[in-house]
Amino acid sequence: MNFVHPIRDPDQIAEMKKYLRQQSERNYMLFVTGINSGLRISDILPLRVRDAKKSYFDLREQKTQKQKRILMTPGLKRELKRYIEDREDDEYLFKSREGLNKPIGRSMAYKILREAADYVGLDGIGTHTLRKTFGYHFYIKYKDVALLQEIFNHSEEKITLRYIGINQDSMDRALKDFKI
């Protein structure tokens, strides 16, 4: 089974951003929105221009059907403001090139991210990487697993820590210098 990992290295995040921006502004913004919001890809793809005009995302999570309100980071808000300039309110943020106004699908989002990851030399990358990357860096910055658990709607702190790869990091560090 392949496990999807967060992107831990800020330099690799910067490389992914650079690569995706060269591909298209849409692909770049998909990545930036994911790593700065912690939303699942199933909640990002249906977003429309009108959703990006607020200072927060207000949505019903596809997976849990729970109502969720996530404040946009100042950086994400700034990027989105530039991205949606001159676009109609009902337009999808991450519009497909097929059809008049349809969002890209999950498989296209996966393809976009995998291609960028391959270019940067990363393995274990998928659509869930965006959410896990947000969680990992949020935890590293604030060390507040309870708040992150709440953001992710997880039932237990240990689930959140395992989800963002903190437990794996601890095991890796412990085993690195271990010998018998």
Query: Which residue among the candidates 19, 28, 139, 163 is catalytic per the annotation?
Result: 163
- Dihedral angle, C-alpha 142, 4, 151, 94, nearest 10 °: 110
Residue 97 to residue 103: CA distance in whole angstroms: 9
Q: Does the active-site annotation cover 5?
A: no
Q: Does the active-site annotation cover 137?
A: no
Q: Does the active-site annotation cover 50?
A: no
Residue 102 to residue 97: CA distance in whole angstroms: 8
Residue 173: CA count within 13 A, CB half-sphere: 6
Strands (E), the chain: 56-60, 67-71
Query: Which residue among the candidates 5, 48, 128, 137 is catalytic per the annotation?
Result: 128
Cα angle: 174, vertex 157, 69; to 5 degrees:
130
Q: Does the active-site annotation cover 63?
A: yes
Query: Which residue among the candidates 8, 77, 111, 154 is catalytic per the annotation?
Result: 154
Query: Which residue among the candidates 26, 48, 131, 137 is catalytic per the annotation?
Result: 131
Query: Which residue among the candidates 40, 48, 132, 137 is catalytic per the annotation?
Result: 40
Phi-psi region of 165 (alpha: psi -120 to 50; beta: other; left: phi over 0): left
Q: Does the active-site annotation cover 56?
A: no
Catalytic residue set: 40, 63, 128, 131, 154, 163
